[in-house]
Structure 1
């Protein structure tokens, strides 16, 4: 079973993935540092966005084929749909020919690997995303603007709705209302929801760990408890 997290910058993908990993999910993380074109892409996007995005497409193929474990619930913290959204935003108006080439690679990837069993769509306002982006102070994100975040969210929303219309399973989570960091209780509750959606035993979804009986804590409640 493969789950892919969907969402823009600062919505909580990696944090949720870490929480799910603690309760038994096999989580597969994207490693930006291995993309040899990314730094150049930020400086000179016209010449380096194509190899940079091709690397991301190929890396998804590698991540799934190499790190996906049979019999486990596998979670990609940066799903294929996310890479499609970035690609659409970068190329649609600037280089439609390159977009066509990369789209063919996406189609090949879908044909070889299949679509995910579930998209978890993390939703957060662009303003909240910008606050989190500034707070984590990553070098490659220092040039990110509100317009960029808003445009990316628009692309992702469009792709999610297309997937939903095609019959793909999509779970929406408002990450402005739920506090993720260190929240194993929430991860276990989410795992139970997933088990119910796919008629699976909770023990299987939780990696044979004993599930807890907890409610979903709201973001504000978790902050107050810190």
Structure 2
């Protein structure tokens, strides 16, 4: 049976790493997040208030295209960041920070809600979570220049939005995995536990409504 899971979580939490490892462990096709082709990105960093709406609409458009490609793909798929995170986390954060004005944000939300209402969801969202201190450590370790100036406040804001979103999300089951004490790159046993937990949750999802699953997440041993 074809499966479609999405790996969600804050910057530096390990989404792409887990996607790659699960590709090897499960033999599923990975779909990675791509940000470099956004024609508004450079302008956005120079003038966020002017270009935030344009940039977010572009990201949403590309994510929707990616989602459609996944649905049409014949094999099981692991997606690095879901379509929902663009709207529920990053656009919401820009709006709260005043970078998107209320009129533009209302249009954006109407577009997102109209599309997401008819978009088949993943079978499972795997929410990787970590405290900000851990995120900052991992961001420093991977050494990406464009991430050097990410502030603690920004990561805290995103963590809050992620926690609120996953708590109310009901389109599919959400499996929350705290990763503060995990290193699934160096510890194959942890990776195996995560893979087994994902497969078990998918199997359970065929028998229970997503609301019942959302509050029942076994832990991975560190």
Distance 2:111 2:17 in 1: 29
TM-score by length of 1: 0.80
Match of 1:96 among 74, 77, 102: 102
Would the alpha carbon gap of residues 9 and 83 (structure 1) be closer, same or farther in structure 2, given more than 3 Å must change?
Answer: same
SS in structure 1 of the partner of residue 36 of structure 2: helix
Q: Please say if 1:107 is aligned against 2:109.
A: no
Q: Please say if 1:136 is aligned against 2:146.
A: no
TM-score by length of 2: 0.81
Q: How does 1:9-28 map to 2 (within 5 A)?
A: 9-23=11-25, 24-28=27-31
State which drifts further: 176-185 or 107-116.
Answer: 176-185
Name the structure 2 match of 1:56.
59
Judge conservation of contact 1:19–1:184 (CA < 8 Å) in 2: no
1:155-207 superposed Cα distances (whole Å, 9 cap, x missing partner): 111111011xx36311111111221326555444333323322339xxxxxxx
1:66-87 superposed Cα distances (whole Å, 9 cap, x missing partner): 2445453322111123212011
Judge conservation of contact 2:185–2:191 (CA < 8 Å) in 1: no
SS in structure 2 of the partner of residue 176 of structure 1: coil
Judge conservation of contact 2:6–2:126 (CA < 8 Å) in 1: yes
Task: Please give the root-mean-square deviation of Cα atoms over the aligned residues, in Å.
Answer: 2.2
Name the structure 2 match of 1:196.
200
Match of 1:72 among 58, 72, 75: 75
SS in structure 2 of the partner of residue 113 of structure 1: coil
Unaligned runs of 5+ in 1: 201-215, 219-226
Match of 2:7 among 5, 16, 33: 5
Name the structure 1 match of 2:154.
148
1:22-47 superposed Cα distances (whole Å, 9 cap, x missing partner): 12122110111111111221221011
Would the alpha carbon gap of residues 185 and 73 (structure 1) be closer, same or farther in structure 2, given more than 3 Å must change?
Answer: farther
Name the structure 2 match of 1:212.
none
Unaligned runs of 5+ in 2: 205-219
Name the structure 1 match of 2:217.
none
Shift in Å, 1:122: 0.6
Judge conservation of contact 1:20–1:188 (CA < 8 Å) in 2: no
